Amino acid sequence: MPNQSLTQLLTTLNLTPKNMHLVQNALVHRSYLNESSEYKESNERLEYLGDAVLELITSDYLYKTYPDYQEGMLTNIRAALVRTESLADVAISLDFPKLIMMSRGEAATGGTTNKSILADAFEAFLGAVYLDLGLGSVEQILRTHLFVRAEKVIEDGLYKDSKSFLQEVAQARFKATPEYNLISEAGPDHDKEFVMQVFINNNPYSQGSGKSKQAAQESAAKNTLEQILHSW
């Protein structure tokens, strides 16, 4: 039997699953398999499927909604809509932190607020809904809870890569170009972790990390954008 939180989610989404076990399986993090014999596999296969379904329906929606936008623009908007942070926000709004089944250890180390885990569970849920109820039901979820964010993505320029967007913002607001300083690098050559920090007019802003300097710069730019835009 589904718990009360899952029942509430299905009511909110106006869904009546035929295969409740499949839907529940979408909420099983791999760490949970170590503590329960109720499920034989995690939600990772469903996440794989849900990711593909999400991309298809999002592409179809953007193609039909913005007929004047070229392929590159549509691709960037789609990437902004389906990025981990965006999907995690939707998952949080639907109370997924209460629904995901994970080990006590995973939960104790912040698993219920981990954006990657939340986004993966949401994609897995979409995969389960697709298998159980079809594309139409998935599309209704996305139209109601994700695609409503498209206009904000466009208006705020969130579809642009963070470094390019930060340069535009910094030049408009500070008449300066952002600089990126390497703060640290750690790990063996095959698995390094870089930390970069943004400076604008020699003033320090946010840091970011990544497996390459370029990825760390992009992360730092994204974090700085959030810092600057929230202060406007």
Tell me the one-letter amino acid at 105.
G
Largest distance between two CA atoms of the chain: 60
What does pTM read for this prediction?
0.74
The confidence score (pLDDT) of residue 164 equals: 83
pLDDT at 34: 87
Distance CA 126, CA 52 (A): 10
One-letter amino acid for residue 29 of the chain: H
Q: What is the pLDDT of residue 224?
A: 92
* 196 contacts 114 by C-beta, under 8 angstroms: no
Q: Please provide residue 41's backbone torsions phi and psi, each rounded to the nearest 5 degrees.
A: -145, 160
Residue 204: beta bridge partners? 199
Per-residue confidence (pLDDT) for residue 68, from 0 to 100: 95
- Catalytically active residues are 51, 123
Domains of the chain: 4-155 (1.10.1520.10), 162-231 (3.30.160.20)
Strand partners, 196: 182, 208
Judge whether 23 and 9 are in contact, CB under 8 Å: no
Q: What DSSP designation does 32 have?
A: G
Would you state the pLDDT for residue 169?
86
Q: Any residues with CB less than 8 A from the CB of 151 and at least 6 apart, and which?
A: none
Q: What is the mean pLDDT of the chain?
A: 92
CA–chain centroid gap for 28, Å, is 18
| Residue 110 Ramachandran class (φ > 0 left, ψ -120 to 50 alpha, else beta) | left
Residues of the chain with pLDDT under 50: none
